[in-house]
Amino acid sequence: MDFLTMEILIENIIIYGLVIILCISVVVFYLRKKSRESKIVEGKIAKAKADGLHEPISLHPYIDVNSCIQTGACISACPEHDILGIRNGKATIINASMCVGHGACFLACPTEAISLRIGTEKRGVDLPHINMNFETNVPGIFIAGELGGMGLIKNAVEQGRQAAENILKTLRKDHSAAFDLIIIGAGPAGISGALTAKKHGLKFLVLEQDTLGGTVYTFPRKKIIMTSPMDLPLYGKIKLFETTKPELLDLWQTVLSKNSITVNENSKVDSVILENGIFTVISGDKRFTSASILMAIGRRGTPRKLNIPGEMNEKVAYRLLEPDFIINKHVIVVGGGDSAVESALLLSDNNNVTLSYRNEVFNRIKAQNSTALNKAIASGNLIVRLKSNLLSIEDDFVVLDTGEGEPIKLKNDLVYIFAGGELPSQFLEKAGIKITKKFGETVRKH
């Protein structure tokens, strides 16, 4: 081997050696980066567990780690923050309690590693029985929206549309009822169902126990409603990310008016009876017949009460509509969810407000509400009493058990209770609809 050949060989060895060192360096850097990211996610999980946000409370993603290939598509697709993360090369849940059921992660996953589940092995969720077409065990009765387990506005709108289209497919044209379809509830799902029915020329009736908007109508006027782009029948694409209650209600009113759709407000449905293949809907002293029913009544139609002395007092309310009109009052707000926290914050600027919650931490609130709550507590603008329970309500004061010795009396003018809503089980069961408790049951697969 001559000198030139030896020189070339040495140069090649050096080059190959540098390439190998570079590759090793890249791999080491990548692994260290992933390790740091995993530790960050582990820290977030630990905090979520400490804050009571790690366990899901309703609809949530379930990850098959054997199918996950760490694309991160699910994390990028999620409109919320820190619901999912990557730990040890696999997607994992961080703040499961914060999931609101967008389903974007489910749709974005390229390997179908994510499914949507309702409830957990420890915490069951009561839901009416519905199939993939949104039809209940009673043929002809369909359910869409929050009552079926998905409360997000976008999801409710889409379910209302799909349910109405499925009703169209099964509707008997030779029926003898006065209506093809009666829609119970004028929230997002009910409005979407009505627009779809109008689009297909169905003869339908919309009955709403309160006012257009359903649960949305009960939100405080200044509440910012988080939603996402959606396709509203007979209207088209709507790009909404943050909007107020009046803006959303105005949009729905405009769409309904444009399509000559009337909502019969203050028309609470007492019962739905099936006789000879025809449904009779009883609302007060009125009776209507229909070939099919779409229930879009939501889960919070009946506020859950505390069943304590004095709860029938006229100063007690279960929703906050006009916080600007409440000034210089002693107020107690009971509850630990977003509605309770948001209402307490809205009232705290002009009133003396105490927020009472029975648990040790607020484990069901959005990140922005948590930040605002901590700020209000630090500034002394809001008094928060955790691990407390309201015992009784008197004309001028309330009695509160703080868990620290004898109950205390607080001067009080107004009481707002946000203890969630009760599933209208009696109403559903009277109509023949089965209700089951879901313990981590898959509701959507690819």
Q: Give 309-330 pLDDT, tens digit per residue.
A: 999 998 998 888 778 788 999 9
Residues 296 and 430 in one domain: yes
Q: Is 362 domain-assigned? A: yes
pLDDT at 414 over 90: yes
Domain check: are 178 and 278 in the same one? yes
The answer to whether the CB of 357 falls within 8 A of the CB of 333 is no
Terminal Cα distance for the chain, rounded: 64
pLDDT at 161 over 70: yes
Q: Which two tokens stand for residue 52?
A: 């009571």
Q: Tell whether 113 and 174 lie within a shared domain.
A: no
Structure tokens at 446: 């690819």
Two tokens, residue 7: 């020189």
Does residue 410 share a domain with residue 298? no
pLDDT at residue 375, rounded to an integer: 93
Task: Of 99-108, 325-334, 400-409, give the lowest mean pLDDT range.
Answer: 99-108
The answer to whether residues 383 and 285 touch, using CB atoms and an 8 Å cutoff, is: no
Q: Are residues 141 and 281 in the same domain?
A: yes
- Total structural domains in the chain? 3
For 215-276, list the strands marked E by DSSP: 224-226, 230-232, 236-238, 242-244, 263-264, 271-275
DSSP secondary structure letter of residue 135: B
Q: What is the pLDDT of residue 47?
A: 82
CATH of the domain at 411: 3.50.50.60
Tens of pLDDT, residue by residue over 196-251, are 999 999 999 999 988 776 666 556 555 555 556 677 888 877 766 566 767 778 88
User: Which of 62, 158, 164, 162 has its CA nearest to residue 114?
Assistant: 62
3-state DSSP assignment of residue 21: helix
Encoding tokens for residue 39? 């530790």
Residue 86 · residue 72 · CB < 8 Å: yes
Q: Which domain holds residue 365?
A: 305-419
Q: 197: which 2 tokens? A: 């029915």
Same domain, 23 and 145: no
**What letter represents residue 198's amino acid?**
K
The listed range with the strongest mean pLDDT (15-29, 173-187, 220-234, 245-259) is 173-187
Specify the pLDDT at position 242. Answer: 63
- pLDDT of the residue at 19: 76
Question: Do 12 and 65 fall within a single domain?
Answer: yes
> How many beta carbons lie within 10 A of that of residue 169, not counting itself?
7
Q: For the chain, what is the mean pLDDT?
A: 84
Contact status, residue 263 vs residue 423, Cβ threshold 8 Å: no
Percent of the chain with pLDDT over 70: 86
Whether residue 152 sits in one domain with residue 36: no
> Any idea what the CATH number is for the domain that residue 65 is in?
3.30.70.20
Please check whether residues 147 and 287 belong to one and the same domain. Answer: yes
One domain, residues 296 and 188: yes
> Does any domain span residue 446?
no
Model's pTM, two decimal places?
A: 0.65
What contacts 318, CB < 8 A, 6 or more positions away?
Answer: 303, 305, 416, 417, 418
